[in-house]
Amino acid sequence: MKKEPYPLGKVYGLLEPGPVVLLSTRGESGANVMTMSWHMMMEFEPPLVGCIVSNRNFTFEILRETKECVINIPTAEIAKKVVACGNVSGRKVHKFEKYHLTVEPAASVKAPLINECYVNLECRVVDTRMVESYCMFILEVVKAWIDPSQKWPRTLHHRGMGEFMVAGKRMKRPSEMK
Amino acid sequence: MKKEPYPLGKVYGLLEPGPVVLLSTRGESGANVMTMSWHMMMEFEPPLVGCIVSNRNFTFEILRETKECVINIPTAEIAKKVVACGNVSGRKVHKFEKYHLTVEPAASVKAPLINECYVNLECRVVDTRMVESYCMFILEVVKAWIDPSQKWPRTLHHRGMGEFMVAGKRMKRPSEMK
């Protein structure tokens, strides 16, 4: 996919509907990726994102050490790969190779972008105070990319135990909310 | 809607797909409600939920004082009311009366359940350490209710600036993820 930069102030609209995301990192053993649904927006601009990464996950160690990652938003077209990435640990498998995900260099972090995802958000860890209690990292999005040809992306939303909801119809409501 | 109790260990599947929720509270001035999309699961059981409530919102004061609330999950059928609740402050308007939302007593907290929502999660604030920095409250769900007749609820998912996505098709993928 061909991407272009996306304004940081509009990033919240990509994450607050709750898509499953692929969190990519780069540690000493190379690029790794995990599937994640436990994330939320915390601030509009600069965009802050809270997320939970279990300390049983390989990503936890890499994230704590490198303090960098990329949030990649996939669509239903690659649902199989998204689920596969959540079913195995990067300690055992090089997931990018095994699941044929294409690594691209980021502009501001060492963690890789995933080409097959329509959004890539380059992030730095800015607050680790809640890591010990809840495995919660607070990320700042420092650079955002989007494939502008995706007008109404079919994002995936996990409803537990391998059951997903695919983004449905558009509904416009006059709102004063941001 | 007629509700029945729902197992606390299954609550995560209701919130991780990112639905817009109505957060109800009860302060000295009575019942209040706000619209919220910035929330995430933090633990399976007991279910912990992180959420951001701006300190400009009336709910912020009530939540900090009473340490109790209910997360109500609406569906597209009441989208107009959901948006209306997000466009006005409870300082000015009694939203339950104005928008004809039906208050029901909760089992474990003073904050009210909203009858028109298919899920009600009674919550207590269990951690306020991130309130000062990020207006982030950590809630424990102490009692959960669901309308069992809603097999595939058309939840609302905000994509920014009054544009919503309505929950679409179901997709099942063999997964070892919880």
ipTM score of complex: 0.95
CA distances from A129 to A68, A133, A154, B20, B55 (A): 16, 8, 34, 27, 21
pLDDT tens-place string over residues B150-165: 999 999 999 998 899 9
Touching check for A127 and chain B: CB below 8 Å? yes
**Cα–Cα distance measured from residue B93 to residue B7, given in angstroms and rounded to the nearest whole number:** 35
Residue with tokens 């817009």: B20
Round to whole Å and give the CA distance between A53 and A123.
Answer: 14
- The Cα A6–Cα B20 span in angstroms is 24
Interface of A with B in 8-37 (CB under 8 A): 10, 12-14, 16-19, 35, 37
The arithmetic mean of pLDDT across residues B135-154, rounded, is 97
pLDDT digits (tens, 9 = 90+) for B42-89: 999 999 999 999 999 999 999 999 999 999 999 999 999 999 998 889
Residue ranges in B4-88 assigned as alpha helix (H): 12-15, 58-66, 79-87
What residue in A sits closest to B77 (Cα-Cα)?
A171
Average pLDDT over residues A158-177: 89
Q: Which residues pair with A125 in a beta bridge?
A: A139
Instruction: Say how far apart CA A107 and CA A16 lie, in whole Å.
Output: 24
The least confident of A140-144, A174-178, B66-70 is A174-178
Q: Chain B, 64-103: which have a CB under 8 Å from a chain A CB?
A: 76, 79-80, 83, 86-87
Residues of chain A contacting residue B165, judged by C-beta atoms under 8 Å apart: 17, 155, 167-171
pLDDT at B177 over 70: no
Global confidence as pTM: 0.96
Nearest to B17 by CA among A152, A13, A20, A137: A20
Which one of A20, A42, A151 makes the best mutation probe of the B interface by having the most chain B beta carbons within 10 Å? A42
Whole-number Å distance between alpha carbons of B42 and B52: 13
Buried b (16+ CB within 10 A) or exposed e, B107-122: eebebbbbebbbbbbb
Helices (H), chain B: 12-15, 58-66, 79-87, 95-98, 131-134
